[in-house]
Structure 1
Amino acid sequence: MTRQEQRQLFSIFFKIGITTIGGGYAMIPMMEREIVDKAGWLSKQEFLDILAVAQATPGIFAVDMAGHIGYKLGGVRMALLAAGANVLPSFVIILLLASFFHEYKDIQLVEYAFRAIRPVVVAMIAAPVFSMARTAQLTRYTFWIPILAAGLIYLLGVSPVYVILVAGLCGWVYGLLSSRRP
């Protein structure tokens, strides 16, 4: 990557880190728009592949996404640059808020503000779910898989770890079986 592209990569992930409320999943649409649509550094399929790997990687999802994207674009150095840029705004903001929050936490207006943010966060997390469903090319034969996974986790209290492990095993077996078909 050129110096200009490195600065652009830092700027993109810094902007994403400072403007997105709601965690890693809320950042997905902005990452896709900036990295895939505007910069054209990755295809939609490459982005979806990185998304899948980042979900399976231990750690903070947004940092994993930034690191994987940076690595794909320019190796370890770009991975550290992208991840650092993504974390820097949150680190500074949390540091500042933590130093003042204990003085203002009992003010009613502050409590109302935190309550008002919750529905926005839910909407920001829901948006990438629909985007991923389109990119993953769900069909009438496969749409039941995410519904079943969500039901197992939410309704029956099954650990997401088990759902991911079983889904990975099923995908591996399906891949083996479908590669043997003529």
Structure 2
Amino acid sequence: MASYWQIFISFFKIGSFTLGGGYAMIPLIQKEVVEKKAWLKESEFVEMLAIAQSAPGPIALNTAIFVGYKARGVKGVIFSSLGTILPSFIVILLIAMIFTDFKDNPGVERVFKGIRPAVVALIAAPLYQMGKSAGITRKTVIIPTLAALIVWQTGVSPIYIIIAAIAGGIAYGKFIKKK
């Protein structure tokens, strides 16, 4: 069983060395809690991740809350949450104190632009891996890809895409799948 400090240190480490936000943290959380520490099984992690995405709030924090609760109950939630939040809080505090001096520096702008492709790769790789473990096929990737392209190219609100997907799912379930 995980100790409170193990939970805190694991999430603090992940929060400290991840660039790109919550979705970039997911593969590191998965590797830490499923593969290294074995606090969760792969299937539990995938189910928990679906719930964490559905719950309001940042996905990395939601994931940390679920893992902390599963590992050590309510106190585990406190330690996992603090481990996730503190690195970002400290970094943002430091950046706020010194960034005003460097915000217009072209070198700093280039560094941030250079980090973007790495962040995309950090997000794409675990999504692909989790998709495989969740049984997602190439055919099922078409719909979200088309939805993203429609939003990007036409500027249509994602709300309309979601409403259309709900209507399509209901129609599929009532009319097509029954046959």
Tell me the TM-score range normalised by the shorter chain.
Answer: 0.7 to 0.9
In structure 2, stretches of 5+ residues that fail to align are none
| Residue in structure 2 matched with residue 23 of structure 1 by the alignment | 21
Shift of 1:148: 4.4
| Residue in structure 2 matched with residue 125 of structure 1 by the alignment | 123
The answer on 1:92 being equivalent to 2:90 is yes
Structure 1 residues 154 and 50, CA gap change in structure 2 (3 angstroms):
farther
Shift of 1:136: 1.1
**CA deviations over 1:118-143 (Å, ceiling 9, x no partner):** 11111111112211211111136644
Structure 1 length as normaliser, TM-score? 0.82
Q: Structure 1 runs of 4+ off > 4 angstroms?
A: 155-169
Give 1:11's match in structure 2, choosing from 9, 32, 43. Answer: 9
Structure 1 residues 114 and 143, CA gap change in structure 2 (3 angstroms):
closer
Hey, what's the Cα distance between the residues in 2 that align with 1:17 and 1:159?
A: 31
Q: Structure 2 matches for 1:81-160, cutoff 5 A?
A: 81-139=79-137, 142-155=140-153, 157-160=155-158
* Counterpart amino acid of residue 135 in structure 1: S
**CA deviations over 1:91-129 (Å, ceiling 9, x no partner):** 011101101111111222212211211111111111122
| Residue in structure 2 matched with residue 47 of structure 1 by the alignment | 45
**CA deviations over 1:12-32 (Å, ceiling 9, x no partner):** 100000000000111111111
Native 8 Å contact 2:4 2:75 kept in 1:
no
Hey, what's the Cα distance between the residues in 1 that align with 2:80 and 2:33?
A: 12
* C-alpha RMSD of matched pairs (Å): 2.8
**CA deviations over 1:146-180 (Å, ceiling 9, x no partner):** 33443454445454456557767848x95xxx9x9
In structure 1, stretches of 5+ residues that fail to align are none
Structure 2 length as normaliser, TM-score? 0.83
> Tell me, what secondary structure is at the counterpart of 1:20?
coil
